């Protein structure tokens, strides 16, 4: 008989057995009454028992009788039990029971033979031949999966063993970076300390020279009057002469006492971030005062001031750094040094939703969630003097590359800008951005790392620096004075609701300061509003051209003139070219002239937005509809310069870094802040 016929015969036997017998009755051991394990034939009658049951029942004499037929079988040792023949028929029955053999249908694997069971893993119907092959394949797959798991375990074990080394290496690298950064900051502080000492020595000598002049005069008076005093005979001294000399010498004594100097040193270790390359620095203040109970003190004062530039008029300072300033009183009058701060301005707002007002301050780059109720925030005593920035030095727009060196889309990859509008650069090189539709002000250093965010606004639109750490912010129907450095609201005027009164607005936008007054473009009311430094109403005028009202947008002040961009409130997509204009006002609101497109002009204005004025009286503004930055001299309107960067879609506001090497543009068309460097 061939192997195939033999195999077929075995399958037929297997099939016949499972049909005729109740397999479950044959699977129990007569001794333990449990499922038979390792079945062994004990006697010639084929009675079968568990291997362990036979081994446990073996007596000491080695003669074991079958519990069923009492046939004796001698086994000399326990090892001979393992030599008893296995009952293969019973093993076949166990296999059949394992697969729950029943005629369920056609085999799903070969689609030929009748199926007698289901696979425990995939529940597929299979015949005996296919079931054997299927189980072998499954065993191989499980072995492969197990090998893969072993490989993963070994890989994880190896990585864990390397973790400590990598952690220590990272720590060493960070320590090295911290050390280098600390050395750099120490060197910068030492250099600034030397510069302060040098400036202090120079100013001290100047101050001493001034004092010596007064002291020499007092010395001269003493020497001249000493002769007269020596001639006095106290016994024959009349009353009038005595009173005159007494008063005279007391006056000389008071003048000399006024020249006493005390040195006072005050250290302020508040951390600030300034400059592209600088980290947190220590800010110091040093004061030398002339003590005088009846008059104001003379002072030397060190404070953060910008660096000096050639075109910076009146000896003003710009940029990053510290300098020493001197203020003195020598003739009964008092002179006061004031830093001048640039007045960069603001933009149109969009959207009509009200936001929940919050105030936020955080030192984490991307955490902008710390908040307090804005309306319940207590106002600080507002004695802040508004110190405007002097105009920036002359700008040559053609010197800037039209390829953006960097495009900022938001604080991080998830948190994006939504309608960024007004933007200003502070004296300490911080970048303030009005992210209008995200209802916040974002503050960066010029390394473009988020320093903190200020929330609590509805739709912030306009920004104007008003001192070392103060900014005027126009919001939806509100104008606020804000301490951006400490995240505190100082004062405000207006409310959530629009209006057209002395204390209400309708979408104020551009804002600028001059001579301690605030000029606000109350856009939707078509008026200019003037506030004093206490944020109180002072005056107003309507913005008109002929008989038509215009909506003022943004403003810049130079040489006692107000330059206001304005246009009619119509949708930009339906706005004809040359619809916008620049209105030139005097400080009292009298119109001096209009600057716009005519037959003789090269300035094509459509929707002019943010505007600034440099020291040469050149106007630089963003035209959102034509996607350009424009520059024109107020005295020569036929030499307009058109600048269009490669990333510009709808530029809304423009400003410049303190060193003027970078032009910064906000774009509401693609919600970006773009940086254009000077050509080298």
CA 409, CA 673: separation in Å to the nearest integer?
7
What's the pLDDT at 520? 96
464 is written with which tokens? 């104007």
Sheet holding 618-623, edge to edge: 608-613, 618-623, 628-633, 636-643
Is 415's pLDDT higher than 60?
Answer: yes
513 is written with which tokens? 């300061």
The number of residues in the chain equals 680
Judge whether 404 and 625 are in contact, CB under 8 Å: no
Judge whether 279 and 181 are in contact, CB under 8 Å: yes
pLDDT over 90 for what percent of the chain? 28
48 is written with which tokens? 């079968």
Residue 213 — very low, low, confident or very high, per pLDDT cuts 50/70/90?
confident
Tell me the range of 258-262, 446-450, 670-674 where mean pLDDT is highest.
670-674
The helix/strand/coil state of 144 is helix
Q: pTM of the full predicted structure? A: 0.47
Closest CA to 472 of 452, 493, 497: 493
- Of residues 234 and 678, more confidently modeled: 678
Average pLDDT, the chain: 75
Judge whether 409 and 672 are in contact, CB under 8 Å: yes
Residues near 141 by Cβ (< 8 Å), separated by ≥ 6?
Answer: none
Is 227's pLDDT higher than 50?
Answer: yes
CA 544, CA 521: separation in Å to the nearest integer?
13
Is 278's pLDDT higher than 60?
Answer: no
Chain centroid to Cα 604, Å, comes to 37
Outline which parts of the chain fall under CATH 3.30.40.10: 3-98
CA 680, CA 399: separation in Å to the nearest integer?
9
Closest CA to 124 of 143, 145, 105, 98: 105
**What average pLDDT does range 540-557 have in this prediction?**
90
Is 458's pLDDT higher than 70?
Answer: yes
- Of residues 114 and 538, more confidently modeled: 538
CA torsion, ordered 210, 214, 219, 222, to nearest 10 deg: -170
- Provide the CATH topology of domain 3-98: Herpes Virus-1 (3.30.40)
What's the pLDDT at 574? 47
- Provide the CATH topology of domain 397-414+494-677: Neuraminidase (2.120.10)
Is 514's pLDDT higher than 60?
Answer: yes
Tell me the range of 81-95, 273-287, 524-538 where mean pLDDT is highest.
524-538
Outline which parts of the chain fall under CATH 2.120.10.30: 397-414+494-677
Chain centroid to Cα 149, Å, comes to 43
CB-facing half-sphere around the CA of 12: CA atoms within 13 A: 6
Residue 186 — very low, low, confident or very high, per pLDDT cuts 50/70/90?
very high
Q: Tell me which DSSP letter residue 43 carries.
A: S
245-267 per-position pLDDT tens digit: 888 888 878 777 766 665 555 55
103-135 per-position pLDDT tens digit: 567 888 888 887 777 787 777 888 888 888 888
State the sign of the Cα–Cα–Cα–Cα dihedral 315, 318, 324, 325. Answer: positive
The region of weakest confidence among 205-209, 255-259, 286-290, 393-397 is 286-290
What's the pLDDT at 611? 92
């Amino acid at each position: 008989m061939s192997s195939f016929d033999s195999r077929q015969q075995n399958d037929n036997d297997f099939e016949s057995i499972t049909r005729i017998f109740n397999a479950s009755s044959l699977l129990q051991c007569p001794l333990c009454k449990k499922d038979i394990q390792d079945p062994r034939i004990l006697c010639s009658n084929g009675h079968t028992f568990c291997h362990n049951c036979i081994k446990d029942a073996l007596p000491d004499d080695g003669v074991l009788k079958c519990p069923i037929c009492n046939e004796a079988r001698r086994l000399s040792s326990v090892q001979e039990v393992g030599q008893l023949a296995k009952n293969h028929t019973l093993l076949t029955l166990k296999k059949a029971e394992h697969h729950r053999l029943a005629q369920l249908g056609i085999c799903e694997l070969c689609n030929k033979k009748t199926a007698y069971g289901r696979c425990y893993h995939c529940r597929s119907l299979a015949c005996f031949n296919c079931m054997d092959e299927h189980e072998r394949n499954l065993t191989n797959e499980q072995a492969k999966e197990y090998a893969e798991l072993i490989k993963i375990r070994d890989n994880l074990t190896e990585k864990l063993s390397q973790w400590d080394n990598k952690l220590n290496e990272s720590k060493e690298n960070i320590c090295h970076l911290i050390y280098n950064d600390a050395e750099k900051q120490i060197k910068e502080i030492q250099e600034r300390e030397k510069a302060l000492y040098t400036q202090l020595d120079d100013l001290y000598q100047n101050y001493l020279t001034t004092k010596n002049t007064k002291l020499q005069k007092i010395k001269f008076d003493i020497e001249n009057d000493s002769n007269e005093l020596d001639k006095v005979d106290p016994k024959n001294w009349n009353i009038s002469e005595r009173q005159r000399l007494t008063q005279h010498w007391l006056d000389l004594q008071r003048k000399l006492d006024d020249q006493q100097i005390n040195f006072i040193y005050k250290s302020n270790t508040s951390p600030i971030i300034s400059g592209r390359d600088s980290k947190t620095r220590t800010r110091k203040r040093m004061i030398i005062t002339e003590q005088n109970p009846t008059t104001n003190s003379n002072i030397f004062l060190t404070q953060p001031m910008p660096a000096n530039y050639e075109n910076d008029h009146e000896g003003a300072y710009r940029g990053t750094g510290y300098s020493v300033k001197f203020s003195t009183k020598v003739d009964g009058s008092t002179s006061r040094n004031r830093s001048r701060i640039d007045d960069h301005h603001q933009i149109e707002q969009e959207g009509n939703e009200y936001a929940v007002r919050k105030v936020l301050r955080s030192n984490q780059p991307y955490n902008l969630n710390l908040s307090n109720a804005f309306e319940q925030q207590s106002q600080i005593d507002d004695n802040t003097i508004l110190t405007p920035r002097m105009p920036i030095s002359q700008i040559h727009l053609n010197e800037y590359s039209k390829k953006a060196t960097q495009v900022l889309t938001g604080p991080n990859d998830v948190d994006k800008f939504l309608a960024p509008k007004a933007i200003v650069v502070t004296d300490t090189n911080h970048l303030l951005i009005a992210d209008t539709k995200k209802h916040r002000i974002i503050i960066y250093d010029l390394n473009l790392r988020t320093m903190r965010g200020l929330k609590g606004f509805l739709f912030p639109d306009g920004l104007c620096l008003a001192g070392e750490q103060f900014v005027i912010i126009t919001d939806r129907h509100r104008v606020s004075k804000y301490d951006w450095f400490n995240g505190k609201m100082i004062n405000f005027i207006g409310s959530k609701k629009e209006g057209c009164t002395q204390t209400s607005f309708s979408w104020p936008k551009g804002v600028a300061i001059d001579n301690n007054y605030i000029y606000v473009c109350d856009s939707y009311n078509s008026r200019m509003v003037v506030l004093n430094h206490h944020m109180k109403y002072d005056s107003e005028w309507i913005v008109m051209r002929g008989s038509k009202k215009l909506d003022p947008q943004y403003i810049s002040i130079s040489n006692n003139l107000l330059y206001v961009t304005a246009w009619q409130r119509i949708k930009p997509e339906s706005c004809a070219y040359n619809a916008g204009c620049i209105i030139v006002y005097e400080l009292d609101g009298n119109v001096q002239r209009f600057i716009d497109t005519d037959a003789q002009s090269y300035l094509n204005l459509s929707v002019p937005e943010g505007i600034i004025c440099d020291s040469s009286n050149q106007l630089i503004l963003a035209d959102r509809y034509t996607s350009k930055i424009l520059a024109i001299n107020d005295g020569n309107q036929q030499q307009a310069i058109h600048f269009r960067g490669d990333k510009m879609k709808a530029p809304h506001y423009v400003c410049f870094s303190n060193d003027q090497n970078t032009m910064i543009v906000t774009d509401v068309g693609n919600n970006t802040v773009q940086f254009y460097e000077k050509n080298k």
